[in-house]
């Protein structure tokens, strides 16, 4: 996928403008507070229908305006199409080829974006719920049908929780919901593990290339059994997972009757960044090591999406070089060059290790305006 053009209207401090992008490298340079990250956020929103800053719509819409819009022309597999969204203080509308799309999932299968921002370091040491959300979104990028499985699991989970809160249910009712939850849950866990099995070897390659901490990978820690390190621990039809979840549900059901909700299942599982064996990076690594782990995860994810879907996602890197020394910056530049994805990269200073003027575009960003440097 390539983003050919972006048209921006009233998005944060960005002035109304059209930005034509290079199919491979686009470097945004300028001082802090000028709009570099705002541009990345606008493009990220175009591909995910949400802000990577978790901002409210009121913050995103430029002060004094009632609506903001971002439109684009994207090209992939030999054809061009348009994608756009508009935000008001009441809601969001998205369009593909000028047609309103009510289903976010339908829209998101057409535009794929992977982004890295400095705040992503909190992914390593933050709550498990955030890592689950990132992994679930990543599974959806690789296997779009996952959203159907996920929604089915949530429906069963809500029904089982409602039953537990009733208190006066029959044991046969609970057994039936236990079976349904275990079967649906096993499907989610299996796909999550399959994704991690694809990502971990590529993370190791990225870490070696950038001379980051060796042995960094993602480890799956279920709420119903010991940690799972590879799909080889699962059987092909997920019956082992189903039985494991079912067994744990039966073990804790007296406690769940007291608390009135389900305490076992993929909604309570954890995914942990580990290094050097089994060291939990969230507890024992420096900020720089955590940042490097997330960067390697995001770059690995982009490659996994390419292998699964046949097209690279657009890759956004915000202030990626600020904590890298000159050797690592040069290595990152080489790694980016080896990937055939389209990149938009922001930095406070022009970094020749990332981009030669003949290989892409350099934009100076000042007061919300992107100006291409010749």
Geometric angle at alpha carbon 317, from 319 and 332, rounded to 5°: 85
Calpha distance 309→138 (Å, rounded): 12
Dihedral of CA atoms 247, 248, 254, 258 in degrees, nearest 10, equals -150
Cβ atoms of residues 206 and 212 within 8 Å: yes
348 strand-pairing partners:
none
d(CA 193, CA 197): 6
3-state secondary structure of 249: helix
Question: Could you tell me the pTM of the whole model?
Answer: 0.93
Per-residue burial over 281-312, b = 16 or more CB atoms within 10 Å of its CB, e = otherwise: bbeebeeebbbbbbbbbbbbbbbbbbeebeeb
Residue-wise pLDDT tens for the chain (374 aa)? 899 999 999 999 999 999 999 999 999 999 999 999 999 999 999 999 999 887 788 889 998 899 999 999 999 877 899 999 999 988 999 999 999 999 999 999 888 999 999 889 999 999 999 999 999 999 999 999 999 999 999 999 999 999 999 878 889 999 999 999 999 999 999 999 999 999 999 999 999 998 888 889 999 999 998 777 655 555 444 568 999 999 999 999 999 999 999 999 999 999 999 998 788 999 999 998 999 999 999 999 999 999 999 999 999 999 988 777 888 888 888 898 889 999 999 987 755 566 677 789 999 999 999 999 87
**Domains in the chain, CATH or no CATH each:** 2-112+311-373 (3.40.50.300), 124-282 (1.20.1050.90)
SS3 84: strand
């Amino acid at each position: 996928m390539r983003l050919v053009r972006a048209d921006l209207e009233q998005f944060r401090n960005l002035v109304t403008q059209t930005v034509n992008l290079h199919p491979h490298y686009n470097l945004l340079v300028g001082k802090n507070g000028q709009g570099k990250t705002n541009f990345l956020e606008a493009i990220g929103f175009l591909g995910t229908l949400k802000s990577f800053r978790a901002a409210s719509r009121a913050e995103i819409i430029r002060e004094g305006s009632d609506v903001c819009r971002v439109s684009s022309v994207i090209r992939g597999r030999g054809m061009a199409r348009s994608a756009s969204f508009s935000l008001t203080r009441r809601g969001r509308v998205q369009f593909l080829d000028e047609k309103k799309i009510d289903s976010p999932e339908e829209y998101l299968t057409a535009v794929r974006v992977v982004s890295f921002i400095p705040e992503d370091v909190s992914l390593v040491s933050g709550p498990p719920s955030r890592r689950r959300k990132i992994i679930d979104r990543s599974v959806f990028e690789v296997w779009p049908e996952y959203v159907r499985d996920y929604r089915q699991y949530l429906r069963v989970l809500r029904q089982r929780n409602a039953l537990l809160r009733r208190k006066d249910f029959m044991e046969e009712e609970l057994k039936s919901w236990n079976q349904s939850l275990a079967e649906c849950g096993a499907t989610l866990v299996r796909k999550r593990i399959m994704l991690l099995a694809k990502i971990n070897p590529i993370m190791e390659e990225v870490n070696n290339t950038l001379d980051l901490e060796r042995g960094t990978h993602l480890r799956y820690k279920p709420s119903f059994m010991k940690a799972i390190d590879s799909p080889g621990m699962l059987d092909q039809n997920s019956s082992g997972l189903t039985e494991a979840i079912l067994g744990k549900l039966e073990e804790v059901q007296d406690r769940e009757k007291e608390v009135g909700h389900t305490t076992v299942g993929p909604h309570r599982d954890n995914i942990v960044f580990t290094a050097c064996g089994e060291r939990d990076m969230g507890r024992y690594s420096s900020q720089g090591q955590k940042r490097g782990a997330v960067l390697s995860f995001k770059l690995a994810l982009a490659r996994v999406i390419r292998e699964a879907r046949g097209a690279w996602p657009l890759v956004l890197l915000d202030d990626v070089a600020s904590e890298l020394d000159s050797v690592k910056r040069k290595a990152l530049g080489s790694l980016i060059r080896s990937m055939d994805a389209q990149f938009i990269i922001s930095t406070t200073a022009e970094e020749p290790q990332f981009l030669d003027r003949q290989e892409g575009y350099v934009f100076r960003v000042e007061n919300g305006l992107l100006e291409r440097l010749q």
